[in-house]
Structure 1
Amino acid sequence: MDIKLLLESLTNPALLFFFLGILAVKFKSDLKIPENSSKFISLYLLFAIGFKGGQELAHSEFGMGILWAIAFGIGTACLIPIYTFFVLKKRLGLENAGAIAAAYGSVSAVTFVTAASFLEMQYLQFSGHMVAIMALMEAPAIIIGVLLIRWFGNGKSGQTSLWGILKHSITNGSVFLIIGSLIIGFLANEHEAEGIKPFTTDIFKGFLAIFLLDMGISSGKKLKDFLQSGWFTTAFAIVTPLVNGVLVAYLSSWVSPEPGDRFMLAILAASASYIAVPAAMKMAVPKANPGIFLPMALAVTFPVNITIGFPLYFMVINL
């Protein structure tokens, strides 16, 4: 691995604020981000990345390359929960295996946003349609996770209809906002869109740093209890995203020659959802234990991706 690239990733101010949040919990500081402020920052980040993606998409030439990239992303979101379900089923039980599989097949918008910042450090850009791919990858993994639980549980696990699951996935706040922002960015008059550029671009990194501070505090609170759950879940939360990310970083050359797009596809495959999936599983599979799959995604996989994963996937792309 390129040591210089790893050091650049580890000294990213946003990432350092994430570690500061963990240290705040470790040293029992009363530091915290007010809940309403945290929600606002989350909404802002999703709005900004969606709107900028829509603007980029408006200037893109639609062709088979975009369609292949979309198909590749959705295919990834369908395959990952299937293989991870069978890896997990015997050790963690049917419901937990399905919930974790859905989380790792789905995507993390926050990881995507942080990856965009990483690409800026490398003076690279990604295409606007990557935001659309991220939104489209959210629902398939959730549906497949629930289907697998029902199939192997003889239809006894969960009572919500598949249409209900699909509707909940699409109307989930984070998914709805990013899709809506993408459409608005695509339709917006270019001159008028320039007027809000300071809001969508100039202050983006500052808000990201504060948000990651909040994520660090949340991770620090969950990390201790999770580590006591055993080595297997920790190993899975570390190894699985790295394997998924490396494979997609390599295979994505089939659908895109652009390193920025390939990096984002790798990030989408490597990330794990800790917003949309827990909300959907609470409704569809109440027997699944969020005390297992939520810390796996937030307290382990997220920091692994932004410290080790980013430079590793970038290195594979540039081989």
Structure 2
Amino acid sequence: MPIDVLSANLASPALGFFALGVIATRMKSDLSFPEQAAKALSIYLLIAIGFKGGVQLRAEGISSSLALGIGAGLFLAVTLPLVAYLILRSFTPVSRIDAAAVAAHYGSVSVVTFVAATAFLSAMGESSEGFMITLLAAMEVPAILIGIYLARRGGGSTSNHRFMDTLTHGPIVLLIGAAVVGAATGEAGMAQLEGFLVTPFLGVLALFLLDMGIIAARRLGELRQAGLRLLAFGMVMPLIGGTAGVLLGTAIGLSVGGATLLAVLGASASYVAAPAAIREAVPEANPALSLGLALGVTFPFNLIVGIPLFYTAAQLLA
């Protein structure tokens, strides 16, 4: 990884605020973020990234690249949870139920990691295909379904949870809805909202990552009994998913930015939609393992190492 790319990432204010949240929490500080304020920041980020993606999608139009991109995203969403499950069952002491639950999280995607990667690409002067938002939405559900299937196959819950309810999960609705509005209004709409959705974006992201740093540091405590092999999984699995993503993205002709984002989607782990679905469908699973790994290990790993690493790989392969 070129030193200048890593240095640019480590020197970003957003990552600095994430580190501040972690350090403050580990120091036993009472620093906290009001729940409603954090929710408002999340809503802003989702609207901003969705709207911008919709504007780009309108400019690009429907193409074979869109079909190939969706196919690649779905391939990752189906394959990665199976790989994660196999690794967990072969090399860690977790049960079949917990392995299936963790696999669902690692096959699904993290919206916040995607947003952070978009901000990183913007800082690097890279653009990406507008349909990457569509890939994010398409990859959310399949891995959750596979994880639930693996859990039930191993004697898990027989809950009647409606799997497709995940599609109506708030962040997904907001992302897709904002993309639709962006596609409908195009550049004219962007011109009207640029001062609200573009200029303040990095500042809002910094505040949001401050809160995420606080939450991530708290989750680290839940992994003290997990063992080194499980902690290693939280760093190895994103490397596997990210490598697959950047190779697929490059193979189907995505831009450097697009291949980077596909890699980030493959490397990320869900800690919003997947926990909600797994909690209802597989109540026997231990949420501390899934959330602790996704938020306490994989999320910071991707922020610090993964995003610049996948970007560099995309540049080398382009």
- The question of 1:113 aligning with 2:134 is answered no
CA distance change for structure 1 residues 124 and 144 in 2, over 3 Å: closer, same or farther? Answer: same
- Which SS does the other structure have where 2:198 is aligned? helix
Distance in 2 (CA, whole Å) between partners of 1:239 and 1:135 is 24
Name the residue aligned to 1:45: 45
Conserved in 2, the CA contact under 8 Å of 1:108 and 1:274? Answer: yes
Distance in 2 (CA, whole Å) between partners of 1:25 and 1:116 is 27
- Which SS does the other structure have where 2:269 is aligned? coil
Deviation at 1:33, TM superposition (A): 1.1
Deviation at 1:190, TM superposition (A): 4.0
Unmatched 5+ residue regions in structure 1? Answer: none
Conserved in 1, the CA contact under 8 Å of 2:65 and 2:254? Answer: no
Deviation at 1:279, TM superposition (A): 0.5
1:223-275, Cα deviation, whole Å (9 max, x unpaired): 12313321121000011101221232123211124101000000000000000
Distance in 1 (CA, whole Å) between partners of 2:117 and 2:106 is 17
Conserved in 2, the CA contact under 8 Å of 1:85 and 1:97? Answer: yes
Distance in 2 (CA, whole Å) between partners of 1:297 and 1:30 is 24
Query: What's the TM-score once normalised by structure 1's chain length?
Result: 0.95
In the TM superposition, structure 1's runs of 4+ consecutive aligned residues that sit over 4 Å from their partners are none
Conserved in 2, the CA contact under 8 Å of 1:143 and 1:165? Answer: yes
Aligned with 2:205 (options 203, 208, 212):
208
Name the residue aligned to 2:195: 198
Deviation at 1:316, TM superposition (A): 1.4
> How do residues 146-225 of structure 1 correspond to structure 2 at under 5 angstroms?
146-153=148-155, 156-161=156-161, 164-166=162-164, 168-188=165-185, 190-225=187-222
Distance in 2 (CA, whole Å) between partners of 1:4 and 1:17 is 20
Aligned with 1:244 (options 241, 246, 254):
241
Deviation at 1:5, TM superposition (A): 1.2
- Which SS does the other structure have where 1:5 is aligned? helix
- Which SS does the other structure have where 1:202 is aligned? coil
Unmatched 5+ residue regions in structure 2? Answer: none
Aligned letter for 2:196? F
Deviates more, 1:75-84 or 1:188-197: 188-197
Aligned letter for 2:64? M
Name the residue aligned to 1:22: 22
Distance in 2 (CA, whole Å) between partners of 1:299 and 1:94 is 22
Aligned letter for 2:223? F
Distance in 2 (CA, whole Å) between partners of 1:170 and 1:247 is 25
- The question of 1:128 aligning with 2:99 is answered no
Conserved in 2, the CA contact under 8 Å of 1:227 and 1:234? Answer: no
Name the residue aligned to 2:35: 35
1:154-207, Cα deviation, whole Å (9 max, x unpaired): xx523125xx111x2101111111111111211126434421221111111111
CA distance change for structure 1 residues 67 and 217 in 2, over 3 Å: closer, same or farther? Answer: same
> How do residues 225-304 of structure 1 correspond to structure 2 at under 5 angstroms?
225-304=222-301
Distance in 1 (CA, whole Å) between partners of 2:122 and 2:187 is 22
Distance in 2 (CA, whole Å) between partners of 1:36 and 1:61 is 37
Name the residue aligned to 1:137: 139
Distance in 2 (CA, whole Å) between partners of 1:257 and 1:49 is 19
Provide the aligned C-alpha RMSD in A: 1.4
Distance in 2 (CA, whole Å) between partners of 1:254 and 1:310 is 19
Distance in 2 (CA, whole Å) between partners of 1:246 and 1:227 is 28
**How many pairs align?**
314
Aligned letter for 2:140? E
